[in-house]
Structure formats: structure tokens, C-alpha cells
Amino acid sequence: MAPPPLIQLKDISLTFGGTPLLSGVELSVSAGERVCLIGRNGSGKSTLLRIAAGLVEPDAGSRFVQPGATIRYLPQEPDFGEHKTTLAYVEAGLGPGDDHYQARYLLEQLGLSGEEDPAHVSGGEARRAALARVLAPSPDILLLDEPTNHLDLPTIEWLEGELESRRCALVLISHDRRFLTNLSRTTAWLDRGQIRQIERGFGAFEAWRDEVLAEEEREQHKLDRKIVNEEHWLRYGVSGRRKRNVKRLGNLHALRDQRRNYRGATGNATLAAAEADKSGRLVIEAKGIAKAFGERTIVDAFSTRIQRGDRVGIVGPNGAGKTTLVHLLIGNDPPDSGSVRLGANIEMATLDQHRESLDPKLTLAEALTGGRGDHVMVGDKSKHVIGYMKDFLFAQEQRGTPLEALSGGERGRLMLARALAKPSNLLILDEPTNDLDLETLDVLEDMLGDYEGTVILISHDRDFLDRVVTSVIVPEGQGRWIEYAGGYTDMLAQRGADVKRETVKAEAAAVEEKKEARAAAPEAAPRRRLSFNEKHALETLPKTIDRLHAEIAKQQKLLDDPDLYAKDRKKFDAASAAIAKAQEELAAAEDRWLELEVLREEIEQA
């Protein structure tokens, strides 16, 4: 007999003025279960987790929580409220009987002192404090939304071990394949508003998903053939009894409705790098390069030779100097000592992890075209901006969307689109997998596999590194870096240990550098938040949209009378004007709601 559920969602439905986001969703989690929630960007995973946490009320359905069960929810963007320190924030999440020592212990394990000011922490520091807050009470159920976002590899591996050792139930959203594979025992796939579930972990998910989609495609093919046969009978068949013909005609209409209402699976991005002429065989040669900032040595006597076709991964803790090392290797920064030589005919394209470098007021089309016309130069070929947008899963309607309204995943695809349009034979990718869903990661991996040039990749995604790179460069502390052949797993086998944080002294120095940088830039803009009017609009617009739908249906019912125009011309004109006005207001309301919802998601994921 299956154990009773700690939390159960039944027949959950939620719609935001258009296609249902969730439609009859069922999810049940029992004590000790490890569930990974999988789905494309925008499929409603975060919304469903917020419903499970009791923070969002669905349109229909029920939520049950076992009496006495404790739940802790990790959002993508934690709200620190008025707390003065990270320790105060974590302790505020403890219950009456919880051990306050756990708050300090977890903060220490996560590399924080507890004295940090929440108003001035980085994204990674905010994520670590939020993790300490949800882990400290030892809840019965943990709901974690992208817990590895902004974390470095040592912290990801620590978190993985910590969650594995706990007995609590776990519902997990993540795009980190290795993290999901190691922790999950059940997979819930949220696809087109509904959940399919298998009692196996993420390791079995992708093969199962492909089988499900292939079977769905076969069923649609059968349906198409059946419709063709019925239409052939309708045109050319011998008439039988009238009642039987009417019934068969009704069946044909039902088949057509079924085909029309079918929501096909979302397509994949089409990624292809514009390749320049081949570089020389030697791409980069570094001999004994060193770099220091003050008393802290970032790189010390590092040497390497990178040849055409190599895929070099660079891993390490945040603050270890990965980006600095790359800038030294590609000649953006001169070393304090040693030498760097670039090979012949190098054409470089760079994807920077800092996506804020673009003007947020630019539209999507302007960011791709540089504000010049309607075409993008992809290599030496001109391509219409709409076609290029569709390659990266942007809808035609998003052409005029300002960058500030894009979600994290959309910004990631935009930066990839810009980087890959430039002809190159050397790709520099700094955290390219941030915010990308699993399907887009697969396409990016295939593109890099087909790319004939050279790749230098900074990433915390262990699975992606294993699939892509041919060698891995790792910091060993005190500015020493060592290159290992193979992928991330091969590096661990050769090194005999996980990637650890540098010494406490170096970590403290990095924190001090961040504080000094922040103190020197008081004019930095405060974090964007929704205004009162924007929050109010988000709450009220769905009701306005429903009202307008009802008004349109009411007026359409009048216009469906074929004799109305002849019987009452004024009533016909009034109904026509009313429906036109309602449709115009509906379009504006839906556009405004979509703009605000995207802004809200962007703020939560920033």
C-alpha cells in the first residue's frame, strides 16, 4: 500500500486570458519522495510550485497538505525584506523548536559569514542565504525552484550531498542534468498544461519523453489519414441513408475539431554558428603567464597550447579568476609576466555572462540587427530578422519587445543569437547554459559538436562539460591552474578530488574586493521592483480579460443571427461596434498582462 501523500494537488487549472497554462494537473508527493519537475521555459513549472507552496490560488482544483507537515519553498529570487544581515534572514525562517545553531552552520558551509548586508549581496550570495533559510528548519517537504542558479561547482556539489543525506520529500526544478540525475527518483513532466509522470529518475526521462512524443506523432498521423479518408467519402462516396450520412458528417467535424485543438510539442531552437575561414593550427600559446591584483595572485606561471578544434573547459569556484584567465589567453588583458601568442587568422566571437551590457530599451529586432534595417548578417549571408528570431524560438510578435521585458531564458537565447551570427573560428562562451532549458541545451551541444573552430568554455554544468570539452583547466589555489585531458568526470578521476574552494584568506579577499567595488559605485541603480500600479494590474487584468471574452461572446451571439441585419439594422451596427471595441480592449489588456508577467518573471529570475 502506497504511503499517504504529504502534499497533493488535484485537477489544478490556471489560465491567464489565453491558452491554459495548467489544465487538470495532478501531483502527489509522499514522505521521502524525490520528484524532479521538468518542462520547457514558460510551461508553468514555477507557477505550479508556487501553487504547491500555497502562494498562488489556482482557477480550479484542490491542494491538500498533511496536517502537521512543514513545507519550505525556495523561490528563484529571495525576498530579504527588512532583515539587516543574512543570519537574521535565515533565523527568521526557523520554527519555535528549531535549532538556531543550524542557521550559522549552514551559512558557514555555504561560504557566508552571516554578517552580509542583504541589500548588497551578489546573486550567488543571495541564493546561498536562501538555501540556508529553507534547509535550516529540516522541513518535511522541500520545494526548490532552480536551486543551482548562480552557484559555483563546489557549492552545487555540496548542496547535492546535503540533499541526498536528508530524509525529507523533495520537489525540484532545475536545468542541471547531473544534479537532477543524482537526486531524483520520480519524474513529473509538465507539457502543454498537463503532467505525465514516471516512477523513475531524470536519467530515464529523455528516452521516455522521446518515446511519448514519437507515439503522439504516430497518432496524429493516423488521425490525419482518417480525416483524408472521410473527406474522400464525403466528396465521392455513394449516398446511403440520410441519417447515417449526417452522423458520419458529424464524426468528420469532430475529427477536424480534434486536429484543430491539438497542441503540438514546442519546437527546438535552430542554432548554427557562422564560421570564418580556418585559423592556423596553433590558436593560442601561453608561456608562464601570471596576473595579480594587489596581494592576491590570480594566475601564476600558467602555460598551455590550444590548437584548432580543441574544446577547453574552465571550471572553479566563483572568484577563482576564470574570466580573468580567459581574458589573458585571448589577449584582452596583458599578463604581469610571461607571454601569450595568438595564431594566424583568428576570428573571435564572445558570449559574455553579463547580459546587462545591452541597452534594455532596445527592441529584440534592434538588438539583432544593430538597428539597421530588417536583416541580420549571419556570417556573410543576409537573413530576415523574423526568420532568425524563429531559429531561436522567438515569436514574430516579439520583434518590438524591449529587452527589459525578456525573461532570463530569452536573454540567454538572444545573446547566443548575437554571438553565433558573427563569423568566427574561435568561440569564447562564458556561462552559455544559464537559464536555457534542456532542449535548447541539447541543440547548443550539437552545434558545438559540428563547429569546426575552437571553443573555450566557462561553465558550472558538469554534464554539459562532459558532453562538449576535450580538456578541463582547474584552479589548485594560490594562482596555480592545471589542465586535465578529457571532460569533467575525467578530470575528477585524474585529480582524485572534487573542485574545492580556495583558501579562506583568498575567499575573504574576494569578498573585500566586491565590497570595495560596490562602495566605489554608489550611483548603481537599485534592483527593479514592480510598482503598486503594476502589481494591481497583474491582479485585475485576468478578470478584465474574462469580462471582455464574455462581452465578445454575447455580441457574437447576436451577430450569428443571419436575419439580424435585415430585421434591425441599428441593432446590427451596435453589436458590430461593440464587438470591435471589446476585441480592441481585449488585445490591449492581453498585451499589457503579458508585458507585466514577463517583467515579473524577469525580476524573479534576475
Tens digits of residue pLDDT in 474-496: 998 889 999 999 999 999 888 87
- In this prediction, residue 55 has a pLDDT band, given cuts at 50, 70 and 90, of very high
| pLDDT at residue 387 in the model | 84
What is the percentage of the chain residues whose pLDDT exceeds 70?
82
Closest CA to 134 of 79, 182, 184: 79
The whole-chain average pLDDT of the chain stands at: 82
Whether 327 shows a pLDDT value over 50: the answer reads yes
Classify residue 361 by burial, with Cβ atoms within 10 Å: 0-12, 13-18, 19+.
exposed
**Cβ atoms < 10 Å from Cβ of 190:** 23
- In this prediction, residue 506 has a pLDDT band, given cuts at 50, 70 and 90, of very low
Q: Which is the CATH superfamily of the domain at 276-347+426-515? A: P-loop containing nucleotide triphosphate hydrolases (3.40.50.300)
Q: What integer is the mean pLDDT of 32-38? A: 93
Closest CA to 314 of 176, 156, 488: 488
Cross-strand pairs, 62 = 10
**Cα–Cα distance, 400 to 368 (Å, whole number):** 11
CATH topology of domain 532-605: Helix Hairpins (1.10.287)
Most confident residue range from 147-156, 260-269, 334-343: 334-343
| pLDDT at residue 349 in the model | 85
**Cα–Cα distance, 200 to 187 (Å, whole number):** 6
In the structure grid, which three cell numbers stand for residue 188, read together?
513529473
Dihedral angle, C-alpha 79, 85, 86, 89, nearest 10 °: -50
Q: What integer is the mean pLDDT of 575-602? A: 79
In the structure grid, which three cell numbers stand for residue 576, read together?
458590430
| pLDDT at residue 263 in the model | 56
Tell whether the torsion through CA atoms of 545, 597, 592 and 406 is positive or negative: negative
What is the percentage of the chain residues whose pLDDT exceeds 90?
31
* Residue 98: C-alpha distances to residues 89, 101, 107 (Å): 15, 9, 16
**Cα–Cα distance, 149 to 344 (Å, whole number):** 38
Whether 354 shows a pLDDT value over 60: the answer reads no
Most confident residue range from 50-54, 74-78, 378-382, 539-543: 50-54
Angle between helices 408-421 and 569-605 (to 10 degrees): 80
CATH topology of domain 5-207: Rossmann fold (3.40.50)
